[in-house]
A = this chain, B = another copy of it.
């Protein structure tokens, strides 16, 4: 990528943007040109927003969510605390996805990944001890394991279940089944089997 003609400032911006997921060198260059064209309406606000985010965004010490305060807004919400429902997710992105679904008003706990012995990720690399501490305090009534339906995700779910065994807390997991709007023809057999086994009254 040779673009000295645009000046090192522009080149550096391209290279940094190219490191964002979903953007490569080509689309980063297009994005930078777009930014320069819309300097007042997009580039300046984006620079300001980034500066402010750098200054204010912190990771919640309790649940691992990102917010501008710690404990975060979710952890401070009295109604959520009273619900006694704690959803365990792998990543902040999963937390956001569940919040967007808006189906529940619960607390969360972000593990920060999954156990993966092959990649050298052990229990001490994840926020599992803090989860045990939260459950130990006794305010949690039910822990929902909302980890991905992958091998690593399920391994993690089993490990977390073992660690929480000694506490009086209900442990549940997300239902498996046919995605809403999904066509049976395109579904894998594992999902279909689970959906059939977990069939409900119509």
The residues of A with any CB-CB pair to B shorter than 8 Å are: 1-7, 9-10, 12-13, 16-17, 19-23, 27, 29-31, 33-36, 39, 42-47, 49-54, 56-57, 65-69, 72-74, 91-93, 95-96, 99-100, 102
Contact = CB atoms under 8 A, between A and B. Distances in A.
B31 A20 contact: yes
A142 to B, nearest CB: 20
B57 A36 contact: yes
A33 to B, nearest CB: 5
A46 B16 contact: yes
Assembly stoichiometry (copies): 2
A114 to B, nearest CB: 16
Contacts of A53: 9-10, 13, 35-36, 43, 47
A19 B4 CA distance: 26
A174 B54 CA distance: 46
A16 B45 contact: yes
A57 B23 contact: no
Nearest to A43: B54
Contacts of A49: 9, 12-13, 16
Contact of A44 (B10, B54, B92): B54
Nearest to A46: B16
A7 B46 contact: no
B67 A5 contact: yes
Nearest to A22: B27
A183 B74 CA distance: 56
23 contacts: A3-B100, A5-B65, A7-B68, A7-B73, A9-B53, A9-B56, A10-B67, A12-B49, A13-B53, A16-B42, A16-B45, A19-B42, A20-B23, A21-B31, A23-B31, A29-B96, A33-B66, A35-B50, A36-B66, A36-B92, A43-B54, A47-B47, A50-B50
Contacts of A29: 93, 96
